[in-house]
Amino acid sequence: MGLELIRWLAALTFAFLLGKLMTRIKLPAILGWLIGGMLLGPHALALLPQSLMDTAVYKTVVTWMQVSFGLMLGTELIFRKIRSYGKALIITTLTQSLGTFFVVSMVFALVFWIQKVPVYLAFAFGGIALATAPAPALSIVQEFRTHGPVTDTLLPMAVLDDIVGIAVFFTVNACIARAVSGGSVPLYMIPVMIFLPIGIGLAMGYPAGLLLRKVRNKAGVLAILLVDITMTAVVGILLNRFLFSTITLNYMLMGVSASAAFSNMIDEVELEELTGWYAPILGVSLLTAIVDLGAPLDYHLILGAGLYTFVYIAARAFGKYFGARFGATVTHMPKTVRRYLGLTLLPHSGVSLVFTGIICSVLQASEPKLAAIVQGTIAAAAVINEIIAVIAAKKGFELAGEIS
């Protein structure tokens, strides 16, 4: 394990330096982290081999990091701030999420109908497409210290989008499982997957909030946060291992809920100090999570990308951008939100790969050819889309005037 740890640290260092190189050419550091993970992953130089990524230690650390960077979103979920957006935030989240699901599903339904592929497979693509991976956009927010209406809308929306994505995807997954007579996630598990992580986070965050009211020094605050994140991750891991072995609970949602709980229990000055002190740990968490995101991506798939891949990327981008624009327009959100929020919602790969694995496990037994279509299309799209999406997200913040 000592040699594997050295390899992992070397991979993170390489990705970090590649990120620094990207900033020199006016691109986000995350692009370097993502490419670094891809170059050093099992499909390329294999400094991060699959054997390392399958170890319990690796998975546990990545889980901890997922809970950790949830703190960045949770500290923005201050109820008095969200009230100022109210219905506008919820409506815009629904129009861009459900709009993407509708557009991608309808486009693929037409394509599959023409090509004599079962049309129900189109809804698998729609279910995968609607979710947004928040880590890339969040890393840009942190790196460039973005500030303004687009940033203020994106951060709480990332949480709501995750909830909508889980609900729609697992409903679609259950329906497809019935269609192919394979195994399925029972319908009653859908609310469990949404509300259980939130409940775990709130239960962990409340006592942390009580302690943070009394402790004001930096060392004490960081100790409380680290213990809170660790306990939240441990509870999630134990539940996944012993009670929910067929599904994976959302660790980031646990971190979001925990940090939202204590963020609403302390005043704004304390919260600002807390986030400032925690920033270096958050940076390492994001770096680790993005490298883990890039490592499974096979760059060879870019060469093999076919019609389905490009249809998927284009349809999803159309749904995200114009869905967000429509919702922001009808709710009279600021002009910059209407024009540029959609660009920040394009990153996707981490969530898409998880959802793809779930759908393919349902299709594999009775419809292996359909599983191959989904797997090949989304894997290639994950590589191509993520590079384009990171650049587009940074450009969105730039055009909105939120990068100082």
List the pLDDT tens digit at each of the 404 positions of the chain.
Answer: 577 788 888 889 998 998 888 778 766 677 788 788 888 888 888 888 888 888 888 888 888 988 887 787 677 667 666 666 678 888 998 999 999 999 999 999 999 999 888 888 899 899 888 877 777 777 788 778 888 888 888 877 877 787 787 778 877 877 777 676 544 556 666 677 778 888 999 999 999 999 988 888 888 989 999 999 999 999 988 888 877 665 667 787 788 889 889 888 888 788 888 888 888 888 888 888 778 877 776 766 665 557 888 899 999 999 999 999 999 999 889 899 999 998 888 887 666 766 776 677 677 667 778 877 887 787 778 777 777 888 888 888 889 888 87
Topology (CATH) of 60-399: Na+/H+ antiporter like fold (1.20.1530)
Q: Let me know the angle formed at the C-alpha of 227 by 81 and 66, rounded to the nearest 5 degrees.
A: 65
Integer Rg of the chain from CA: 20
> Which residue type occupies 46?
A
> Which residue type occupies 403?
I
- Domain positions in the chain are 60-399
**Distance between CA 130 and CA 98 in Å, rounded?**
7
The answer to whether 345 and 366 have CB atoms below 8 angstroms apart is no
Structure tokens at 102: 């509708």
Pick the closest to residue 260 from 118, 385, 82 (CA basis). 82
Predicted confidence (pLDDT) per residue in 140-195, tens digit: 887 788 888 888 888 778 777 877 877 788 778 777 776 765 445 566 666 777 78
H or E stretch covering 152: helix 149-180
Which residues touch 36 (CB under 8 Å, ≥6 apart)?
11, 14, 15, 16, 18, 19, 291, 294
Predicted confidence (pLDDT) per residue in 367-396, tens digit: 778 877 887 787 778 777 777 888 888 888
Task: Mark out the alpha helices in 250-334 (DSSP H runs).
Answer: 251-263, 268-294, 300-304, 307-330
The answer to whether 113 and 85 have CB atoms below 8 angstroms apart is no
**Distance between CA 243 and CA 4 in Å, rounded?**
30
The pTM (predicted TM-score) of the whole model is 0.68
Helices (H) and strands (E) in the chain, counts: 18, 0
Coil/strand/helix, residue 116? coil
- pLDDT value at position 273? 85
**Distance between CA 262 and CA 99 in Å, rounded?**
33
